[in-house]
Structure 1
Amino acid sequence: MRVTAEDLEFGYRRGRRVLDGLSWTVEPGVTGLLGPNGSGKTTLLSLLVTLLPVRSGRLLVGDHDLATASGRAGARRALGFVPQRFSLAGELTVADTVAYAAWAHGLGRRECGAAALRALDLVDLTDLAHHRTRTLSGGQRQRVGIAAALAHDPGVLVLDEPTAGLDPGQRLRIREVVARLGRDRTVLVSTHLIEDVAHLCSRVGVLAGGRIEFHGTFPQLEAMIEDGSEGSPHGSGFERAYDRLITRIGERA
């Protein structure tokens, strides 16, 4: 399922325009969203998951137009969202937590248990189905959050900083899960961790100045460096390319 933005604009009252004619298409697979602080990543995600209204331009999830009430309703059934910060009821079991998410997304009560087990299998947590969520590690809690977002089998999964605050081993496990999920759905990962995107995403979009200023593969982004010897000798080629791109955008503003 494809996500499409066309000339999308958004601004808050008494403030600057955050999104300024943004156009972008996110195809099936895992796509990373990068951008400096204040670039509008949170606003874009909030529009996509229907937390904010689309006022100007178009935003589509598949064929669902988020500018219409019926389109937003359809998009909610097609979307799964894991915010950067979320809470779990510590007394509930892992399975009950995910089953409740399935019910909240419109599944019938008799379907929720099986849906929860399917989602837990996708994130490798079946063995913890009957554990209380208060006993889980940070990485396990994050996978429960992803399972809850998958419980209604959405075609699009949106993840906001999915590895923030996790140790290296937990980050690796989350990457493995997300990469597997991207084989048969559209996954959009918003993050400030270039390492995660470099290891996880087949394509990347860079949001700056209210627009997607780059969309392509990592080799294409790295090729923006005219001479690999320029700039800081530290950091990966991708990191230098990203910093160079942001600097160029700032100079044009």
Structure 2
Amino acid sequence: MGPNGAGKTTLIKCVVGLARPDGGRVVIDGRDVSAGKAAQALIGYVPQNPSLPGLAKVRDLVAYAAWLSGVDAARTDEAVKVALDKMQARDLGSRRIRTLSGGQRQRVALATGIVHDPRIVILDEPTVGLDPGQRLKVREVIRHLGAERPVLLSTHLTEDVEHLADTVAVLAEGKIRYQGTLAGLATTRPSVDGRPGSPFECAYDDLIMSFGGAE
């Protein structure tokens, strides 16, 4: 996590192979992501504000994503069913994208990212722009995903991290400034100063402000 402009999306793009890092490499299950499609097939990626075709039906869109990800045609129907079930979106299958709410669209986008049963799921700002009720629903399905496989999630919303994350890395000015548990970051605060936030939120704010950044 980190403030806007910290470099979260750039880092995510390097991880999924959409951008080439200036140095180092990204390895998943012993495979270099830059090596090609075999390594990238291990990743389920949902970008920030994914653009979904409004006239497409949900089931058709997820099936198309399955085809793009190399799912065998004989397995596509079952893969689509499983992905929609995991996203609590089976009842949306016959709906057109343009008729969905923001939270429903985001769950459909998540279904397109997991339909090929990836090794790891990578989500860029998955709850941005959602109202509180929609955000709770999306968090719920992300939590279920995290019980099955690793999920790497970027966000600038501390409440998302507090409700979803086992570990957190804080990015500021393009560098990792903290990596560890939420509790570990909270203990870095020297004192309680009465600000209306959780210990984690206040510690995060202190850390970001120490590098000259703020939301």
TM class, shorter-chain normalised? over 0.9
Instruction: Trace 1:173-192 onto structure 2 (pairs within 5 A).
Output: 173-192=137-156
Q: 1:52 aligns with which of 16, 19, 31?
A: 19
Matching residue within 185, 206, 211 for 1:244: 206
Match of residue 99, structure 2, among 127, 135, 151: 135
How far apart are residue 234 of structure 1 and its match?
Answer: 2.4
User: Structure 2, unaligned stretches of length 5 or more?
Assistant: none
Q: Which runs of 5+ in 1 are unaligned?
A: 1-33
Q: Deviations over 1:99-145 (max 9, x none)?
A: 11000001122221211111001001112212222211110000000
- 1:207 equivalent to 2:207? Answer no
Contact residue 142 and residue 162 of structure 1 kept, 8 A: yes
| AA aligned opposite 2:2 | G
1:40 lines up with 2:2 in the alignment: no
Q: How does 1:23-102 map to 2 (within 5 A)?
A: 34-67=1-34, 69=35, 72-102=36-66
Where is the helix percentage greater, Structure 1 or Structure 2?
Answer: 2
Between the aligned partners of 1:234 and 1:133, the Cα distance in structure 2 is: 39
Q: Which moved more, 1:109-118 or 1:173-182?
A: 109-118
Identity, % of aligned positions: 48
Q: Is the 8 A contact 1:54 1:66 kept in 2?
A: no
Counterpart-to-counterpart distance in 2, 1:204 and 1:143: 23
Report how many residues are paired: 213
Q: For 2:195, what is the secondary structure of its paired residue?
A: coil
> What TM-score, normalized to structure 2?
0.93
Using the size of structure 1 for normalisation, the TM-score is 0.80
Alpha-carbon distance in 2 for matches of 1:218, 1:55: 30
Per-residue CA deviations over 1:201-247 (Å, capped at 9, x if unaligned) read: 11111012332111111111110001123xx5222221210111123
Residue type of the alignment partner of 2:91: D
2:44 and 2:114 in contact (8 A); partners too = yes
- 1:100-119 matches, cutoff 5 A: 100-119=64-83
Higher strand share: 1
| 1:234 and 2:201 aligned | no
Residue 45 of structure 2 contacts residue 113 of structure 2 at CA under 8 Å; is this kept in 1?
yes
Contact 2:169 2:177 in 1 (8 A): yes
CA distance in 1, matches of 2:177, 2:95: 45
What is the CA distance between 1:250 and its match in structure 2? 4.3
- RMSD over aligned Cα, in angstroms? 1.6
SS in 1 for 2:110: helix
Code of the aligned partner of 1:82: V
The residue aligned with 2:133 is 169
Q: What is the SS of the residue equivalent to 1:86?
A: coil
Is the 1:100–1:112 Cα contact (8 Å) retained in structure 2? no
